Structure 1
Amino acid sequence: MVINLNVNIMVKKLYMVEGSPVANAILMAARAFDVELELQQLDFAKQEYLEDWYLQINPAHTVPALDDDGFIVWDSHVILIYLAETYGSSSTLFSNIPKVKYKILQMLNFNCGTVFRRLSDCLRPIFYENQKTIEQKYLESLKDSYKVLERILESSKFMAADTMTIADISLFSSIAVTDLILPVTDVEYPRLREWLIDMKNTDLYKAGEQGVDTLKNALDVMLEM
């Protein structure tokens, strides 16, 4: 591990695993807020996230984790809020208007507790147990998430407000990957499909596209698809 001891430079270091959907969310948000990050890649295969030096940074041994000049924040959803409030005060991606803010937080929590959790249920057996297929019950759970998001988009073009917010970035980081294993079709989920395409056409996606491609390549190798 390399530690930058130059106290005159405020280092914003992101500890991450290439291909992680939640890491992609942070990379896209950093691009939106014009925040430069020093990327510290952890070796997933060697379980580097369980090593003592990283546990001192993040006792929960999850990625990503952000070190902003010595201030540590972990959990991607909290990191998104931190970046928005610290570096995005002039951005429309977050809001201090209570009702708008709580809608954003609501959708961040929906991604954290439901969409990303269900995605993790699909991916965990592949990467930790070397399974070659995804159990149907997990795919059915993803379908339920799609239905919820489709209903939300009936009344708004974006997930939490009339314009894009960090809630869209967070959910997009998950849906861009779930789409690889359970395609979002325009027949079943036309609004969600349109939202997904619109998000892919944003400049922000350039910051997360490599991560999505990395995970796609890994899935192509590990799954019987």
Structure 2
Amino acid sequence: MGPILYMLQASPSVRAVLMTANELDVKLELIECNILENEQFQEEFMKMNPAHTIPTLIDDGFIVFESAAIMGYLVNKYGKDDSLYPQDIKKRAVVDQLLHFSTSS
């Protein structure tokens, strides 16, 4: 079984993770978590993600949430080269800047 992504298709953060997985050719098992119906507050979900946010990824028992962290994890684990997350610090800084743009005020 591959990585599991708890998600809501309408979420821009989820779509960013899905695009990253697609680019890496990583097949994700998708589990819908309808935040509009407060499914993220169910006890089972809260145990794996106390921040009760989507997207949330489970990969071989390892849980990571927050879209930029998930994308970084997927690229680091499944990337075949550094084209999506370059080793060059200036190029990487540009990627990081874009990854964290949505969290800036």
TM-score w.r.t. length of structure 2: 0.91
Q: CA deviation at 1:91?
A: 5.0
What amino acid is aligned across from residue 16 of structure 1 in structure 2? M
Show the counterpart of 1:90: 81
Q: Does 1:43 align with 2:34?
A: yes
1:13 matched residue in structure 2? 4
Distance 1:55 1:111 in 2: 24
Number of aligned positions between the proteins: 105
Q: Partner of 2:99 in structure 1? A: 108
Partner of 1:58: 49
What SS is found at the alignment partner of 1:40? strand
**Structure 1 match to 2:58:** 67
Larger C-alpha radius of gyration, 1 or 2?
A: 1
Aligned with residue 78 of structure 1, among 52, 69, 85: 69
C-alpha separation in 2, matches of 1:19 and 1:60 = 19
Question: Could you say if the C-alpha distance between residues 101 and 62 of structure 1 is closer, same or farther in structure 2, counting changes exceeding 3 Å?
Answer: same
The sequence identity of aligned pairs, in percent, is: 37
Give the 4+ runs in structure 1 shifted more than 6 A.
Answer: none
Contact 1:33/1:91 (<8 A) preserved: no
Q: Structure 1: state its 5+ residue gaps.
A: 1-8, 115-225
The structural deviation recorded for 1:46 is 2.2
Q: Which residue of 1 aligns with 2:90?
A: 99
Partner of residue 23, structure 2: 32
**Counterpart amino acid of 2:3?**
K
1:80-136 CA distance string (max 9 Å, x none):
11111111132512111122112211221222224xxxxxxxxxxxxxxxxxxxxxx
Distance in 2 separating the partners of 1:81 and 1:61: 20
Q: Whole-Å Cα distance in 2 between the matches of residues 21 and 110 of structure 1?
A: 13
- Normalising by structure 1, report the TM-score: 0.44
